[in-house]
């Protein structure tokens, strides 16, 4: 009955729900520490949650299908036209919309070999071929090699900065030069899911690519620094022409009213965002110092997570889970010796480091 390609389509495997882990261990949910999905350990934006609660009282109405109010707010925030924005059910949905709009069977999609798995899933879903370009030795994207991998069949190129799962970021100059060097038959998606964690003074401003009319879309999400992962809302900014194409392939009411209200308010929650950014930098330093003291190799990160080398990543993940600590193995990214850890609160980071001592002592 189904399309034959679905027989070989990989399925995204989310981690086990925290409630299930707690039940299996006979613990309360509050006793489980989840540092596996790069969520915000400081909770959701309080302004966002207040707005969501208010919006809930009007749930009999369909949402604003064009996200007019949110796009107006984003336009003011970015100094771009409201027509430069497309809002999605998580930035994941926008990655899928790119597939709908641009991919036919046989097309090629260029991405890094250690890149967010959804780029590959979406490519395969539309019958396109993921072309995975090896990362540099420092775990950053090899932008020169990615450029060289572009052929006449390439339709999409994905670059995340900071990149998940490696945490490496590119400078504004590198990203602008890369975007300008790509041929015009290619759409570049610059995934900035973690960009709010960059030092604001050093964060790339890519709006000039939009003004130049490049075939570029930049993605942002409310799932990370704004702490709204459970509400599923993200957005892209691009030329009006590109946004117009994505609007043709999206569902009429793809983003619910509660999430739209929360996102709008969260954009104004500047104190919360500043605090999360500050605490994340502090937590990252705590982990880096702790790992260096233990002689554990790690990749310097610009995001809210860190890759570290533990020997056997799957065993480490499994053992940590028995202790009520959920981390992310990255064997599927070709990194069997590593795990990815979300930066937690100071207490969560300390608990992880002490469990790491136990794991390493056992492994020796």
Residues 186, 108, 222, 277: what is their CA dihedral angle, to the nearest 10 degrees? -80
**Residue 160 interacts with ligand PMP (CB under 6 A): yes or no:** yes
Q: Does 125 bind ligand PMP (CB under 6 A)?
A: no
Residue labelled with tokens 């395969």 = 124
Position 90 contacts ligand PMP (CB under 6 A): yes
For residues 193 and 308, which CB has a smaller minimum distance to ligand PMP in the complex?
Answer: 193
Contact by Cβ (8 Å): 235, 85: yes
Q: Are 15 and 326 in contact (CB under 8 A)?
A: yes
Distance CA 161, CA 242 (A): 21
Nearer residue to ligand PMP within complex by CB, 133 or 356: 133
| The binder of ligand PMP chosen from 164, 239, 260, 286 (CB under 6 A) | 164
Interface residue with ligand PMP among 41, 99, 234, 313 (CB under 6 A) is 234
The whole-angstrom separation of Cα 316 and Cα 81 is 48
Q: How many residues bind ligand PMP (CB under 6 A)?
A: 13
92 lines the binding site for ligand PMP (CB under 6 A): yes
User: Of all helices (H) and strands (E), which one includes residue 288?
Assistant: helix 270-293
Smallest gap from Cβ 193 to ligand PMP, in A, equals 4
| Least spacing, CB of residue 8 vs ligand PMP, in Å | 24
What's the rounded Cα separation, in Å, for the pair 298 and 306?
Answer: 7
Q: Nearest approach, Cβ of 236 to ligand PMP (angstroms)?
A: 10
Rounded (10°) CA dihedral 355, 359, 361, 364: -160
State the nearest-atom distance from the C-beta of 221 to ligand PMP, in Å: 3
Select the span of 8-16, 86-94, 129-137, 176-184 touching ligand PMP (CB under 6 A): 86-94
Q: Nearest to residue 113, comparing CAs of 45, 67, 160?
A: 160
Task: Give the footprint of ligand PMP on this chain (CB under 6 A).
Answer: 38, 90-92, 116, 160, 164, 191, 193, 221, 223, 229, 234
């Amino acid at each position: 009955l189904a399309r034959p390609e679905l027989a070989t389509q990989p399925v995204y495997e989310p981690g086990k729900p925290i409630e299930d882990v707690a039940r299996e261990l006979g613990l309360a949910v509050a006793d489980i520490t989840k540092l596996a999905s790069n969520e915000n350990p400081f909770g959701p934006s309080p302004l966002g949650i207040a707005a969501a609660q208010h919006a809930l009282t009007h749930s009999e109405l369909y949402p604003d299908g064009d996200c007019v109010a949110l796009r107006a707010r984003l336009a003011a925030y970015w100094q771009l036209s409201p027509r430069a924005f497309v809002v999605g059910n998580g930035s994941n949905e926008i990655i899928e919309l790119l597939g709908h709009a641009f991919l036919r069977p046989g097309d090629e999609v260029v991405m890094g070999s250690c890149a967010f798995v959804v780029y590959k899933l979406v490519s395969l879903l539309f019958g396109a071929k993921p072309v995975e370009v090896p990362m540099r030795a420092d775990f950053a994207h090899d932008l020169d090699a990615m450029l060289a991998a572009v052929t006449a069949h390439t339709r999409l190129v994905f670059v995340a900065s900071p990149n998940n799962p490696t945490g490496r970021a590119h400078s504004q100059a590198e990203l602008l030069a890369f975007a300008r060097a790509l041929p015009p038959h290619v759409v570049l998606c610059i995934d900035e899911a973690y960009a709010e964690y960059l030092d604001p003074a050093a964060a790339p401003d890519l709006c000039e690519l939009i003004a130049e009319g490049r075939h570029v879309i930049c993605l942002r999400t409310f799932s990370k620094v704004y702490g709204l992962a459970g509400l599923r809302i993200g957005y892209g900014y691009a030329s009006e022409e590109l946004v117009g194409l994505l609007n043709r392939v999206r569902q009429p009411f793809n983003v619910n009213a509660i999430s739209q209200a929360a996102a709008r308010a969260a954009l104004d929650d500047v104190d919360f965002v500043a605090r999360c950014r500050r605490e994340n930098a502090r937590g990252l330093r705590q982990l880096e110092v702790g790992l260096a003291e233990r002689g554990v190799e790690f990749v310097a990160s610009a995001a809210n997570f860190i890759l570290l080398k533990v020997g056997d990543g799957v065993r480490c993940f499994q053992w940590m889970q028995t202790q009520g600590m959920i981390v992310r193995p990255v064997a599927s990214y070709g990194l069997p010796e590593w795990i990815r850890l979300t930066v937690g609160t100071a207490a969560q980071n300390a608990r992880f480091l002490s469990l790491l001592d136990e794991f390493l002592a056992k492994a020796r």
